[in-house]
Chain A
Amino acid sequence: MSRLDKYDAIIIGGGHNGLTAAAYLSKAGKKVLVLERRHVLGGAAVTEEVFPGFKFSVCSYVVSLLKANVIRELMLPRFGLEILPLESTFTPLDNDYLFRTSDYDQTYKEIYRHSKKDAENYTRFGPLMGQVGMAVRPILETIAPNAIRPSINDLLSLKSLLGHVKGLNNETFEYLCKLMTMSSADFLDEWFEFEPLKATMSASGIIGTFMGPRSPGSAYVMLHHYMGDIDGSFRAWGFQRGGTGELSMTIARSAKHFGAEILTEASVDKVIVKNGEAVGVALENGNEYKSDIVISGLDPKLTFLKMIDESDLPEDFVRDIKNFRIRGSSGKVNLALDGLPNFTSLPGDGPHLRGAISISPSYDHLERAYDDAKYGNFSKEPYMDIILPSVLDPTMAPPGKHVMSCFVQYAPYNINGGWDDNKREAFGDAVVNTLSRFAPNIKDLILHRQVLTPMDLEKTFGLTEGNIFHGELTLQQLFSFRPAVKWADYTTPIKNYYQCGSGTHPGGGVTGSPGEMAAKKILKIW
């Protein structure tokens, strides 16, 4: 392909959202070019063979939020989408455990063992959250209106949203309001009494978030994680065969099928702006590409403060983007193992190794982990969400060996004294030590270890401050405020420059939603 080619659209960043937007636009007949900085596609949804024979879903490790209509419209199953169910959560405790599965009776029996009332309430909780999730879906699927100067369309969609809210039954509305404002701990305290159950459930309210379970606002993040695909079974987490990167590849294949061109190792330096209009991009290697429109799949900080000169942007917008909170708080430790971990409380192989393993014995455990990070240290005893991909998909590791993915809260980006190799290793040790409290054989099993700090996430994946969601999911950074007021509908103050990353509504996770909604919006006004 020659540099003289002019594209209809150039997409900066081959993350799954950029690829999704590319697929939709090419499907609509546009000539699209995707430019990815790294040698692999997928961004934070990527699989890499980090150690020979061991494949890691380096960052994002489970899939549930991927929208069903994206799967259908982009024909992803045809291009390799195969999501294996991950249907249990195992919380090891010091002398006991909690093991929840998708089976109603089994889970009832298990929770009953710990708390009779909780077992009963648990049977109501899931379906009710399903109702709330259903209530939120239309909000997530509405292009965020301009809160300052709403257009006619904005008013219409606001009106229909209001109508939708008014149509909810009292109970759903009440829970919705509470989930928007409370801490996940307070919310769960209204339902349950058994700490490990509450702590494990609340943990989805702190994932990727600089908050503890007792911090108000964490209930919303919990809801965000509950909004898994409702077409299928609710909050059904799954694992893409071949790792999360394979999921990005299916989207890339779909995009290519519809005619998109994708270039890797093509790092964009700047968006070329002429007379307040985006006309193309310049790569770091000096190449330039021209196009009618440019779409950024990067986070808001990079999209605006790096790709564009401040002088080309309105002053208050620059202030908003600078004030956009994007603190990273998570790390990732990927282990190559010689065998399976053996949990003291539930020894041996078993179904509990096929699902998520949550190191969340109590609220206090999580809060203490948070306190460490609040004051600028990594958690000495972190919260972890763990899966063993090789148990589900043996191709992830050599025969008899395993890979283990540990998502770790908290590791602050701004650690006291800054991150260095020693601290990274110390962080990795903290993770392994915490793990060995529950599975003592882990230390002997480790063949290789990959430790990713927020600093590494920034350096390798271009996630500013290592924030996994391209910006915190706090109330003031959602919907019409994501990433900045007036520009929450995928447009930007620069003409023909658009955004489609997780920093836009409805936010982070492997959802495909920002990419899809941005593409649909662009096609509508094109």
Chain B
Amino acid sequence: MISGKKSSKFTANTQLKISPFFERTSKINMSQEWKRWGGFLASTKYDLHHDNEYFAIRTKAGLLDISPLYKYRIKGKDSKLFLNRLVTRNINICEVGQVMYSSWCDENGKVIDDGTIQRLDKEDFRLTSAEPNLYWLELNSYGMDVDIHDESEMISALALQGPNSRDIINSISSKSINDLKFFRIINTDFNGIEVSISRTGYTGDLGYEIWIKPSDSLKIWDILIKKGKDFGITPAGLNALDISRIEASLILLDVDYISSRHALIEDRKSSPYELGLGWTVKLNSGNFIGYKALKNENKNPSHWRFVGIEILWDDLEKLYKKVGLAPDLPHAAWRDSVPLYYNKSQVGYATSGCWSPILKKYIALAHVNSKYSSLDTILDFEIKVEHYRHLTPAKIVKTPFYNPKRKMSCPD
């Protein structure tokens, strides 16, 4: 399956896509567990258990292959105009070297996808997304002077996340990244190999994403692993990432919401307000797609709100105690829909949740009828204990659940 000779090209016997890092990641995946991510084979975890990878992210540095992200390069005179039309945020205030997170919507103000926009130059942007969006981008750029290019297979990417990530990069990069602020991007090189580094990530920790030419991928991986060793760099899989992103309350397409382009029925669609992304909707910034609908929605409260809940420990423990067991918590993050009740009637559903190893709390992200969504409201969370269904109290709490200062700060 894996070719040993240096000269011959690496191949893998799979119908799925493999990232340029697969030659390395496939060798160290001791669990041999893989998930599909955007048609790629992605490691679920490298060790037999993901704990170590998770703690690497929170205490040292986790290295994640994020190449499956879709990447679109948007250039040309009207590129800013186009992005302002596309996404809900105001791109006018995005400086060169800045990155913005935004969602984008259909004409009814329902979210299609979310991702980051990197401003690489005056008329040069890169958009990342979870699902393919090329058709949508081209449809909406009709008549504008922009050049949209699907870069998904032309850029590979690694996320280096965790408190030591800055030190690792500084030990390699020709430029120091001490001044690189949250949601900024710079170009630098690692041993003469050009890379871009953005201070972004999906873990809610101090962290960076490194954008690489695919042919340089293995070299960059090797450098990072080698130099990072002293800082505890640890390749991390999707399980560790999933827990981190829930702690950081970052939504995931197809798990926490469904793209309105694929929803088939109205009830499956969500507006940015309903996903807690109201802050990305800049109603005064112009006429983006869905603007009118969102302006109306902004006047009247949305039907749904997206909240964080904490399943209260004592009550949970009691339920288990009754059957003579200690609480048995999910090992990995779950992604099914779990009903939430208020006074016996269902008022929402949680879409992803996990035991937070660092907070020692059982947390989840949930869609809740806005009437019942204020902070500290106690809802009933459905749980199965020894084959029987029970309701156990869960409190609406502030998100993100976990938000270390280092995420945004710079060394003085």
Contact = CB atoms under 8 A, between A and B. Distances in A.
A106 interface: yes
A120 B133 contact: yes
A79 B262 CA distance: 40
Interface string B123-155: 000000000111110100000000000100000
Contacts of A128: 264
| Central interface residue in B36, B150, B264, B266, by most chain A CB within 10 Å | B264
B261 interface: yes
Contacts of B17: 105, 109
B92 interface: no
B262 A120 contact: no
Contacts of B36: 105
B345 interface: no
B16 A109 contact: yes
A169 B266 contact: yes
A131 B138 CA distance: 25
B39 A109 contact: yes
A50 B288 CA distance: 66
Nearest to A172: B264
A127 B259 CA distance: 13
A105 B39 contact: yes
A169 B15 contact: no
17 contacts: A105-B15, A105-B16, A106-B15, A106-B16, A106-B39, A108-B39, A108-B132, A109-B15, A109-B39, A117-B134, A117-B138, A119-B132, A120-B135, A123-B262, A127-B262, A127-B264, A169-B265
Contacts of A105: 15-17, 36, 39
A116 interface: yes
Contacts of B264: 127-128, 131
Interface in A270-288: none
Contacts of A169: 265-266
Q: How large is the interface on B (under 10, 10 to 19, 20 to 34, 35 or more residues)?
A: 10 to 19
B39 A124 contact: no
Interface string B77-120: 00000000000000000000000000000000000000000000
A109 B133 CA distance: 15
Nearest to B261: A124
A121 B138 CA distance: 12
A457 B180 CA distance: 76
Interface string A72-114: 0000000000000000000000000000000111101100000
A116 B266 contact: no
Contacts of A106: 15-16, 39
Interface in B24-38: 36
A131 B264 CA distance: 8
Interface in A180-224: none
Interface string A45-83: 000000000000000000000000000000000000000
Contacts, number: 39
Interface of A: 103-106, 108-109, 116-117, 119-121, 123-124, 127-128, 131, 169
A121 B16 contact: no
A106 B17 CA distance: 8
A271 B15 CA distance: 59
Interface of A is mostly: helix
B151 to A, nearest CB: 11
Contacts of A104: 39
Interface of B: 15-17, 36, 39, 132-136, 138, 150, 261-262, 264-266
Contacts of A120: 132-136
Nearest to A105: B39
Contacts of A124: 261-262
A117 B135 contact: yes
Nearest to B265: A169
Given A106-B15, A109-B17, A116 B134 contact: yes
A376 B21 CA distance: 59
A117 B261 CA distance: 14
B266 A123 contact: no
A69 to B, nearest CB: 24
Nearest to B36: A105
B15 A103 contact: yes
A121 B266 CA distance: 20
Nearest to B38: A105
B150 A116 contact: yes
Nearest to A191: B135
Nearest to B138: A117
Nearest to A131: B264
Nearest to B41: A105
Contacts of B136: 120
Contacts of A109: 15-17, 39
A151 B150 CA distance: 59
Contacts of A131: 264
Nearest to B40: A105
A104 B138 CA distance: 23
A131 B263 CA distance: 11
Nearest to B139: A117
A154 B228 CA distance: 76
A119 B132 CA distance: 9
Contacts of B261: 124
A127 B264 CA distance: 8
A123 B15 contact: no
Contacts of B265: 169
Contacts of B135: 117, 120-121
A61 to B, nearest CB: 27
A120 B132 CA distance: 6
Nearest to B150: A116
A130 to B, nearest CB: 8
| Central interface residue in B16, B135, B265, B266, by most chain A CB within 10 Å | B135
Nearest to B37: A105
A131 B268 CA distance: 15
A104 B36 CA distance: 11
B264 to A, nearest CB: 6
5 A-B pairs with the lowest CB-CB distances in the bound complex, closest first: A105-B39, A120-B132, A117-B135, A106-B15, A120-B135
A121 B133 CA distance: 9
Given A109-B16, A128-B264, A169-B265, A123 B132 contact: yes
A124 B266 CA distance: 15
Nearest to A101: B15
Contacts of B16: 105-106, 109
Given A105-B15, A105-B16, A105-B36, 10 more contacts: A104-B39, A109-B16, A109-B17, A117-B134, A117-B135, A120-B136, A123-B132, A123-B262, A124-B262, A127-B262
A90 B313 CA distance: 55
A104 B17 CA distance: 12
Contacts of B132: 108, 116, 119-120, 123
Contacts of B138: 117
Contacts of A108: 39, 132
A104 B254 CA distance: 15
A294 B132 CA distance: 58
B352 to A, nearest CB: 21
A513 B101 CA distance: 53
Nearest to B262: A124
Contacts of A127: 262, 264
Nearest to B153: A112
B274 to A, nearest CB: 19
| Central interface residue in A117, A119, A169, by most chain B CB within 10 Å | A117
